[in-house]
Amino acid sequence: MNLNNKKPDHRPKKEGQGPSPAEVPNLGLTMGLSIVGSFYVGRRLDLWLGTSPWLLILFILLGVAAAFKSLFDFAKK
């Protein structure tokens, strides 16, 4: 039941219209958490396996790559 008496908009989004402004903080959060999370995982694995600093470097690079992938996916919208 639609209480607003408005018809839902089922039209497809126009190409090149871009993301809404509400999605911008989501991008920053995704990028930041992917880098910080990979730093944490790499650091913990280095401490556990005694391979310092190699896994930390590897996981930071993976986190940065994931952050850039999020950025490129965001830019495609």
CA distance 44 to 38: 10
Report yes or no on 21 lying in a domain.
Answer: no
For residue 62, is it within any domain?
yes
Between residues 28 and 10, the one the model is more confident about: 28
Query: Is residue 51 included in any domain, yes or no?
Result: yes
Residue 62 belongs to what domain range?
A: 32-72
- The answer as to whether 47 is a domain residue is yes
- The reported pTM is 0.72
Taking only the tens place, the pLDDT of each residue in 15-50 is 667 777 888 889 999 999 999 999 999 999 999 999
In degrees rounded to 5, what are phi and psi of residue 52? -55, 135
Query: What percentage of the chain exceeds 90 in pLDDT?
Result: 58
In the chain, the number of structural domains is 1
Distance CA 20, CA 69 (A): 19
For residue 38, being part of any structural domain is answered with yes
Question: Is 39 part of a structural domain of the chain?
Answer: yes
